[in-house]
Amino acid sequence: MIRKWAMRAIIAYLIFGVAIFLYLFYWADTSIPHALKGTSADPATFLNGRELQLSEEYSRIRNFMFFIATPYEWLFYYLILIFGLSAIFENSAKQISKFFLVRNAIYLFWLSLASFVVMFPLSYLSYTISKSYNISTQLFSGWMKDKFIDFWVQYATMFIIITVLYALMRKYKKRWWLAAWVVSIPFSIFMMFIQPVVIDPLYNDFYPLKDKQLEAKILAIAKEANIPANHVYEVDMSTKTNALNAYVTGVGSNSRIVLWDTTLDRLTDEEILFIMAHEMGHYVEKHIYFGIAGYLLLTFVGLWLTAKIMEKWISRRGKDWKVDKITNISSLPAFLLITSILLFLASPLTNWVSRYQETRADTYAIKMTHDKEAGIRTFQSLTKSGLSQVKPPVLVKIFRYGHPTMLERIKMIEDYPLQDAKSEDK
């Protein structure tokens, strides 16, 4: 029976992989609408023939890797359960120690190690592909260092989460999901608070922006928007990537405006100011608070659904998986599997909300800078540096894109009546 279910899962995964491959490489339409041919949104106007070919190739491969990686993780958790490996990990932990915290640490180490080994081939393949298309500039040693840091940061975070989670499961039997949701609120805010000052510096060096004239310009528009910012940070990303980026991270006094050094090297001051105005648009429109509220709502629903599904799974299949009850830590792969699937199913909604907010931020940047040309050049440069598709397939947009497509962003800027933006400022 176990072999039959395992074979079914593997076959389903392979069929899905073939279907996604055919969709991305043969069926999906990524052509530019005829009405936009020759406009600033047409990649043929700012990419040469070789760049056009590379952007299509790289985007298809990257999108394919995304769609096969997520269900690959699901397959891993499912096979860990049905072959009883999760129960073996738990029994091993019990034999070593009788203390709850130590058993959790040992179990999680074995599960994390197994996950790292199984997922490593896909991670390495993604790295080598990015390297071959000259997106990644990172040496293998540096990449492995980041993977090593990832492992231990995720391990430490997961240890705290599962220790609290399973303690709540034992105490609150039927309502553990509600208790977990309540606890997740301060924990999530705490993680957002320490992310910029504790976790991010483990991967990269952050320092105040060296170009003080540019910093003064950025702080000037921040002051105009009533944003309490005293410093702008740059981060050394050129040793890892040729892509461009800028962002605002953290909450409260730990919030930071961050520019990648690749962005500083390749974009003009006007283009950088447009990006910064975009990021300030998120602050002004309080997108971070809407994001927190949405996250808490989705977490509430997600934990409730996870609890219901887990109870049914363990009651029906627990004996086959050698997982006696939901409070056994060996049920963790079921929890991770269910939450991962729910997150994937929710991604069309969360991405849609994110795209709406990004459009609002783009609009704010136009109103703030009155420089449509800088906005258009910025998105053209982002497309070129990241070898992005200007018009990705529909499924890719729905499940991957938290930003509008480059076609949509450039067209929106091009069509935006600048006179309206000027009049709104008066």
Q: pLDDT digits over 153-190, tens only?
A: 999 999 999 999 999 999 998 899 999 999 999 988 88
Half-sphere exposure of 152 (CA within 13 A, CB side): 8
Q: What percent of the chain has pLDDT over 70?
A: 96
- Does the active-site annotation cover 279? yes
Cα 379 versus chain centre, distance: 20
Q: Which of 215, 234, 362, 371 is catalytic?
A: 362
Instruction: Give CA angle at 353 (350, 354), nearest 5°.
Output: 85
Count CB-CB contacts under 10 A for residue 329.
25
Q: Is 249 helix (H, G, I), strand (E, B) or coil?
A: strand
Q: What is the mean pLDDT of residues 207-213?
A: 88
Q: Which of 261, 271, 279, 371 is catalytic?
A: 279
| Separation between Cα atoms, residue 240 and residue 376, nearest integer Å | 26
pLDDT at 254: 63
| Separation between Cα atoms, residue 159 and residue 391, nearest integer Å | 41
Answer whether residue 199 shows pLDDT above 60. Answer: yes
Is 358 marked as binding a ligand? yes
Is 278 marked as binding a ligand? yes
Q: What is the mean pLDDT of residues 272-294?
A: 89
Q: What is the mean pLDDT of residues 291-320?
A: 93
Half-sphere exposure of 27 (CA within 13 A, CB side): 9
Per-residue pLDDT reduced to its tens digit, 115-127: 999 999 999 999 9
Per-residue pLDDT reduced to its tens digit, 74-85: 999 999 999 999
The more confident residue out of 267 and 227 is 267
pLDDT at 421: 53
Answer whether residue 35 shows pLDDT above 70. Answer: yes
- Selection from 341, 321, 316 nearest residue 331 by Cα: 321
